Structure 1
Amino acid sequence: MKSFLLLVLSLTAGCETSSVSTCDETWAVSDYGGSEKYQIVEVDHRGRVERSTKTNMWENKGTFFLFHDTRNKELKLVFLQHQVKKEEFKCRFYQTHGSTPDTERVEKYDCETKTFNQTTYRSAKTTIPCGNHQSRVQFFCRQNGSNCENILSSGPSPQTNRFTLTNSGSISIRDVSSQDDGVYWCGLRSNLTKIQLQVQNITVHEKSSSVGQTLTYWCSYSTSAPSITFICKGEDPSVCKRLVSSSEKNTGRFSMNDDKEKRNITVTVRDVRADDTGTYWCGAETSDRRSNVFFNKLVLTVASVTPTTAEPSVKIPSVNSTSFTDTPVPAAGPLMTAVTAVRICVVLLVLLLVVVLIYKHSEKLKKQRSTGH
């Protein structure tokens, strides 16, 4: 709930804020009004001076965020500390470079922090909605105590090792680990959002199937029975594609049954296809889809069925034609080769025997002729 405090401070140089706050940060807003047009604003926070020439966009100055709104003629400051005292910072405004600075007093204090809670899981991917276009995101930083360490900003290369600013203005984080748990800030041209990211462990199952088979798997949940459970597919559970739910139990090849008494969900996939390979999540809806609850993660691998290889064939010529026709016959296997060898040996032995008999008979005839003479 926003708190609104109108402070009237007289004869005081610098901008100040009340110690009363309903959020973890300290918001200070200074309306300078009138016809003045300032090109430069300067904030002196605990002896550290930060200048800005940018207008109408949020800037990350480390220990605080700054927004110089020239349309409404006000300067917004968000200190990453609770109850910043009025003597800890001052604001100065310059109409031009080198001009004498003007000081303005705080005319209102308004806590405007918008906080979103998002849950993600170790080794997964997650997407944090930040803006609706990449160009509107000015910075994305992680809070470390009273300082916000910049991770991404709009520019020619809005990407780091694991963090990516997408074209749609969302922040994508891959290979999430427990060290990513914490508070993040997303600064747009006109909005500032605080994200509480919670990283949790999740049960992971691995399963394999083959094309054409029917696959059944189960996932259980230990919490009280959720109103709507669902199964979705994708590396990122925050934006995964929903396939089937307890409100729509059959969607063609996918079907599910939620036994709320046993707290067990049965999922069936008929006629498994190769493109079913991927990551599946078993979860339940919450009022805020940023924090949908997930119970299990399934990594499915689908193997293609190897087609049966036909036996090779050999070609023999047809004796009934002057041309050759291709007549396929099964190729000789080891047994057939052995039988053929035996047959050849038998034929050779028979031929040898015939030759021997003919020779002996010839010799006998020669002897008879010589005796007769």
Structure 2
Amino acid sequence: MGILQNLLFTICIALRCVTSAVGLIHVTGYVGSIVNVSCSYDEGYESYEKYLCKNDCGDSDVLITTSESWKNKYRINDDKTARIFTTTISDLHSEDAGKYWCGVTRSGKDIYTEVELKLVPDSCCGTVTTVQSYEGYSESVSCPYDSQYQNNLKYICRGNRPSKCLQQALITSNNRENGRFSLNDEKMSRKFTVTISSLTQSDSGSYLCGIQRNSELDVLSAIELKVKEWCCVKSTKVTGTAGHPLTLQCPYPSQNQDNRKFLCKGDHRNSCRDMVMSESRLALRDDIYSSSFSVMFTKLEEADAGTYWCGSDSQWRVGNYTKIQLSVVFQQHTSTVPSTMEIPGKTTTHKKTTTQNRPNKDAGQYVVYAVPAVLLLLICVLVVAVYQCKHQKVKDGKAVMNRNAENEEGLEEVTAGAENNIYGNEEVVRYKQQSACNNYDDVGEDEPDYENFTTSEEVYCNENFHRR
């Protein structure tokens, strides 16, 4: 009889525990992430101990209590003002799924709230919306939602991990401006729109539109954004000569055949200046048959160097565009300078050819000052040469006159001496005359023996000489 009473008492306690459970809370978490289990309690139980347990809530099934706020991967926090205590479970695994109990300790019987935890993979989503745009553009992404979520928090994040999306949100409906991102919630049409300005190719990737929910997973939708290069930009380098004409070739897509064509200058297309409209030196010619146009500089200037863009659409929509890097150089010219090389007995003139770069500045001053200096130098050299020539002639004339005078004086002395000695040295004279005679008669023969000759023999010899 006692055993039956104990059994009935145990069943009664079990029934009372079950009936004391308040509702059922469904919680869903992502594998590998964290989940919050929040349970409310009635007024008057603020100071009571709260806990989270699993299975039958035996002593070994209690996971954490408010008297020990952190245990293993569980944390608990009691908000006594809101009368809600929340247990956070981190590092979720598949075996963490199942039934839990939120408990409030009290004498006699505890108050329990049943919790059903469900785990899903940390990824999203089955359907992905693709949005394409181009670098430099602004693009808007629309995220629809149900009417029941009009007042819920909206946000957008990058990536495809729902568990971290809200924590890594780029912008939310509570803060509608953040750098290049802006959010507009259109509650009447039940969608919120996120606009991204000044797109770059690095903005390409996966995004998640999110709507926050309290105890359930947030409502998410996946978007794949593809930012392409501002289409078909061809870069080329061109070099022109200052003072000469230059023509630039610019192809364009066939669909832009009827559009106005232009050439603008600037490091970036968004801030370049239309050169055809502002420069009269430029002439544009469109060839619709080759889907290209040409721009000619009638006279290239140094300031024309820089970056140019060939355009065929004033809105800079997608198309074939050409980026041109123009360099300006100066024309080279050749000058011939004569040079003289002196060789003994001969003077040779050579032509020396030099090539110089055309100066950028002060070229006129160089010509004005350099040419008169050369002429002045040549004139000075010519005057000195003429002066030396005249001086030399005068000097040579005086020298000739002096030599003539000396010769005349010497001749007179010789004549006078000959007259004085002609009789005293007859034999010597005859000897000399005979030698002269022999020199004319027997050139190359042995010299004869010399004897004293008489006057008649000397005369005969002279006669023979004169006959010859």
* TM norm structure 2: 0.36
Q: Which has the higher contact order (CA 8 A, sep 6+)?
A: 1
Report the structure, 1 or 2, having the larger helix content.
2
